[in-house]
A and B are shown apart, each in its own frame.
Chain A
């Protein structure tokens, strides 16, 4: 590895009562990397994500973010420098789109005028019409628009790291595809380091540079899709087989002209 990792998990454990949600996991994420963490429900993938910004505290092991042991930094300050996109947006229903997006800069003490300018930049960045959406309440938006606002909010304080908890899971396939592509582009353009949780292997393969597979709290495998396909683990191979089978069936069912 050329430089030190942006996020590093070293032998991290976390239990909820008798349940080992994260069991001795070590994982390094390099600067600029897009890593997808894949696993079924209860695999511990969301817990792993939340340990990074201390929404959940680890029982053992060490986690560093940008070189700092997270235990040695103030959790509130830590969260303000890491963007976080919640599963169904997590937007505050009583605040306007602009107020939702500007919340972290405001908490950091950025003057109101500067927050407003930043909000306009972000609306443009996530391709939302400023005039139509700025002063709306989240309830008035579609699911895709809400998630775009969620991404804008996560990026507001110019974080270098973005954590995403199944961000596109609840969206219809078209919206999901468009948002995924748009975010991948933002990730590249802004030089972000991104960790995305998903249960969808296809989405992970399409968006991420590297995939980490979790099951029952254990990290089963990590690597590029190509590396994973050489894994000896049955569960990992099973996960990869599904998208491949889908592609074959789709190719057989769809006439070539329809793919244009």
Chain B
């Protein structure tokens, strides 16, 4: 099969109107907002050195915050703002998706616009500003007729830089619930679908290039005083916006939104659930690639309708519990606590996706290691790798305490690469996931936890408060409960980790239903 006949291209293309449309809308809205704020600020502070310095310093600080972190910060910030407006004015708004993404990106666009705006305006020969005054211009006439046109090339360069930054950074708005071309990249990275990754990168690069060229056209039109060029550039950008609005017009807003976190298993389960809902005639869309901390709040706020989480995760992160209870007790307590927030714990899917310490099988046999307690003896000469959150989670503290674990070194790694790293000896031990198909693929072994330091992680279906009494939805989901055992999920995950046409979440979701639906 050649690269070009790969059906994943078609799959990627099918998502394009939705992803591109959302990407264009959020980027252009952010850019427009950024310009609306920064340009007047640049004009107002051009002759005032102190506020100018403060403003530029603030914008620079914003720029040093990594894009992903800035976007992630806006979510809790808006959540807080939303609860305040609800309490004070009775107005609620969604802190999920478009709004936080647009605000964060707008903030991100400010530095180049401000800096170039101020540089452009300050760079004008003072003799010309004096001449403008001398021929009888008011301050405003001088600004419009002389200063802005002369500063235009430098200002436009800033605006073009901002546009390219915003369009590029907008790919990072996927985890806070804003659909974007980043959905290709996040999904592709998690499911090792390089076609998706490439497609997402190319699409956003092309979009950035196109917008940059259109802005260039507007700039040259303004500079050469050619109305035709200016109008062509403006029409191009307007056409881009209109074109991306069309596919959204026909879509019903009554769809069920199925959330998924940022790893392969979640993509597969969300595809499976979406498929099941559609099979019984319910309109459903999946919103995948959501950050672990964002997804629960999004469910609570009703921005998504349902998703799969893990009992131990909620126990530690939402209930802030550090004690560990037996499986059934933990589930029961979780269910009653969630019910207080009107969240329905519909039931377990049947498998667990717990953290487990994993080492190569051969190594385990050679060292005679079967449990974490055995591992503890050798730990001081071994290195360990975990995902980005593992070492700050209570499970890690509990493990260290229960077994007196102390490793020689610890590293953080992208989960997909962890297993290969363990197999190749790059690290000795990894904190993997029990449901991961790669454990078998790389001939690794998950060590037993005889002291039960790691809490149970049953996969559970959660429904948003507004879906609490939704009989049709619950009936459609019932056939999935208790049906997916650990072996099946591992196999599904292994499929999803493959790099071929049958490894898309949709395809694996269908495969999974074939296995468990009968």
Chain A positions within 8 Å of B, measured between CB atoms, are: 53, 55, 76-77, 79-80, 84, 86-88, 90-94, 103-104, 107-108, 153, 157
Contacts and interface: CB of A to CB of B under 8 A. Distances in A.
B127 A84 contact: no
Given A93-B150, A94-B149, A87 B127 contact: yes
B146 interface: yes
A122 to B, nearest CB: 14
B130 A104 contact: no
B132 interface: yes
Interface of B: 127-128, 130-138, 141, 145-146, 149-150, 223
Nearest to B141: A107
Contact of B133 (A79, A88, A92, A103): A79
B121 to A, nearest CB: 14
Contacts of A92: 128, 131-132, 145-146, 150
A12 to B, nearest CB: 19
Contacts of B141: 107
Contacts of B134: 53, 55, 79, 84, 86, 90
A80 B136 contact: yes
A87 B128 CA distance: 11
A107 B131 CA distance: 14
Contacts of B149: 94
A80 B133 CA distance: 9
The dominant DSSP class at the B interface is helix
Q: Which of A53, A76, A157 has most B Cβ within 10 Å?
A: A76
Given A90-B128, A94-B150, A55 B133 contact: yes
24 contacts: A53-B134, A55-B133, A55-B134, A76-B137, A79-B134, A79-B135, A79-B136, A80-B135, A84-B135, A88-B127, A90-B127, A90-B130, A92-B128, A92-B132, A92-B146, A92-B150, A93-B128, A93-B150, A94-B223, A103-B137, A103-B145, A104-B135, A107-B136, A107-B137
Contacts of A94: 149-150, 223
B243 to A, nearest CB: 34
Contacts of A90: 127-128, 130-131, 134
Given A76-B136, A92-B128, 13 more contacts: A55-B134, A84-B134, A86-B130, A87-B127, A90-B131, A90-B134, A92-B131, A92-B146, A103-B137, A104-B135, A104-B136, A108-B136, A153-B135
Nearest to A87: B127
A55 B223 CA distance: 29
List 5 tightest A-B contacts by C-beta distance, closest first: A90-B131, A80-B136, A84-B134, A79-B136, A94-B149
A84 B136 CA distance: 10
Q: Which of B134, B145, B149, B223 has most A Cβ within 10 Å?
A: B134
Contacts of A79: 133-136
B316 to A, nearest CB: 63
A241 to B, nearest CB: 33
A84 B145 CA distance: 18
B126 to A, nearest CB: 11
B304 to A, nearest CB: 53
Contacts of A93: 128, 150
Contacts of A153: 135
A139 B375 CA distance: 80
B56 to A, nearest CB: 26
Nearest to B150: A94
Q: Which of A55, A77, A92, A153 has most B Cβ within 10 Å?
A: A92
Contacts of A108: 136
Contacts of B130: 55, 86, 90
Nearest to B134: A84
A148 to B, nearest CB: 16
Nearest to B225: A94
A128 B133 CA distance: 25
Nearest to A106: B145
A107 B133 contact: no
A65 to B, nearest CB: 14
A89 to B, nearest CB: 8
B136 A86 contact: no
Contacts of A87: 127
Nearest to B132: A92
A73 to B, nearest CB: 12
Nearest to B137: A107
A157 B138 CA distance: 16
Contacts of A86: 127, 130-131, 134
B145 to A, nearest CB: 8
A53 B136 CA distance: 10
A92 B125 CA distance: 10
Contacts of A77: 136
A86 B149 CA distance: 21
